[in-house]
Amino acid sequence: MIDMGFFINGKELMGENSSKVFNPADGSVVGTVALGDERIVDKAVRAAKNAFECWWSFSAAKRGDILYSCADAVKSSVDELSQLLTSEQGKPIKEAKMEVFRFAHTLEHYAGMAKSLRGGSVPNLDHNPARMGLILKRPLGVCGAITPWNFPLSLAGNKLGPGLIAGNTFVLKPASTTPLTVLRVASIMFEAGLPAGVLNIVCGPGGTVGDRLATHPDIAKIGFTGSTPVGKGVMSKAASTVKRVTLELGGSDPFIVMSDADVDKAVSACSVGRFFNCGQACLAVKRVFIDEPIYEEFKEKIVEKVKKITVGSGFDTSNRMGPLHTEGQRAEVEDQFNDAVNKGAKILIGGKRPSGDTYDKGNYLMPTVLEDCSFDSKMNTEEVFGPALPLWKVSGMDEAISKANDSPFGLGSSVWTKDVNSAMKAAEKIESGYTWVNSISKIYDELPFGGMKESGLGAEHGYEALEHYMATKSVVMGTE
């Protein structure tokens, strides 16, 4: 069993109170973690504030070299970290390794952009050659990050990569149920050369630790990933000190398949997009709209595909889907598809818990596919954060776009068609921050990612993420 404390100013500090971390596969205790309060947050913020001038004084290139070293150290620890991640989160070990490498890749991506950080200039202000305007870019200062349990490491990287290379320091609050891997990574990064105080980790309840981060006067920005209701609360609290806020919130991503699409490839992408990480992803495929001429073919093939998904412990490499993260999460998904069934939906496959000694102690649920869901059912009106996939029949792209946009969410979307004009129409008309055309739903560090409507505010990834971690300042230089 692993016992961990806070990570503040390069040191592990134990607290007065602690909480157990459980393995979703069997309910066993993985370890304990110290629980913070407002006093601990204040201590971490002081450490980050004291480290800021030193970290900012480094050239961007030097910060980049340090992040490269951190990324190498994380990759060298992939076996240790992926084992820890699977233990506390539940995902298959293969997916855990992918997440570790994803975190390292994000650090490397922004380290590579270090020498591209620049401002600008405007000569001849007032038509006077002796007066020049300068546009400076500087870090914001101390930033707060609040990250969820579904991708605890990679979603932390989305904030740390651009924020650190821009010269900011951090206090990060991981989810209370998945703090261990993030704490270990912070220690590894410190050992690899990240100065003390640049990255600090405080675990604890959102209502205590998260609220203090959102309202602390010395924190300039909050980067939050999580549910839309909680995100709204973070935004409201951050307004008390007019913090910058980046919100990556919930989604109910539509997946559109037209009659001219490559059905086999679409089915494969749909299956991965829905059931990866047991469907616990904001960008998971959550609503499928299929053109009427190919509906039966697609339905038959997706059911056959789902039959092959093996469910069980993430440490068994033959399993493609692990447990849901908590019993409460499983119960919520069951409530959502049962609501659909009560309103006339038909379950094509799944819809139940697996049974037996292997499963009874864990939060398992069979991958589920439904059809004929009412549009007022929870399968359509709520974000479904688990392995349940509803199918709907549509007549053409216009109806598919209309149905796709009939949601308060606007995070990701997918379109499958060989008609370039139809694909571009959908890409322009669908209200989402990301659209994949004939492609698996994968996020790229090179492209900005942010939601529309109630799915978020601001951008992560791409150069655009850097802009959210830098202040722009205008300077007028007179040389006369």
Instruction: Catalogue the active-site residues.
Output: 248, 282
If you compute the radius of gyration of the chain from its CA atoms, what whole number of angstroms results?
Answer: 23
Handedness of CA 87, 93, 99, 102 (dihedral sign): positive
CA 186/CA 188 separation, integer angstroms: 5
From the list 476, 479, 473, 480, the residue with the least C-alpha distance to 133 is: 476
From the list 224, 247, 53, the residue with the least C-alpha distance to 138 is: 53
Strand-pair category, 412-416 with 452-453: unpaired
CA 413/CA 430 separation, integer angstroms: 8
CA 441/CA 107 separation, integer angstroms: 21
Residue 457 near residue 245 (C-beta atoms within 8 A): yes
Give the distance, in angstroms, between the CA of residue 122 and the centroid of all CA atoms in the same chain. Answer: 38
Residue 370 near residue 346 (C-beta atoms within 8 A): yes
CA 87/CA 241 separation, integer angstroms: 38
Residue 101: how many other CB atoms lie within 10 Å: 18
389 Cβ contact partners less than 8 Å away, ≥ 6 residues apart: 270, 274, 275, 279, 285, 286, 288, 302, 306, 367, 368, 369, 370
Structure tokens at 288: 């499928």
The region, left, alpha or beta by phi > 0 then psi within -120 to 50, assigned to residue 295 is: alpha
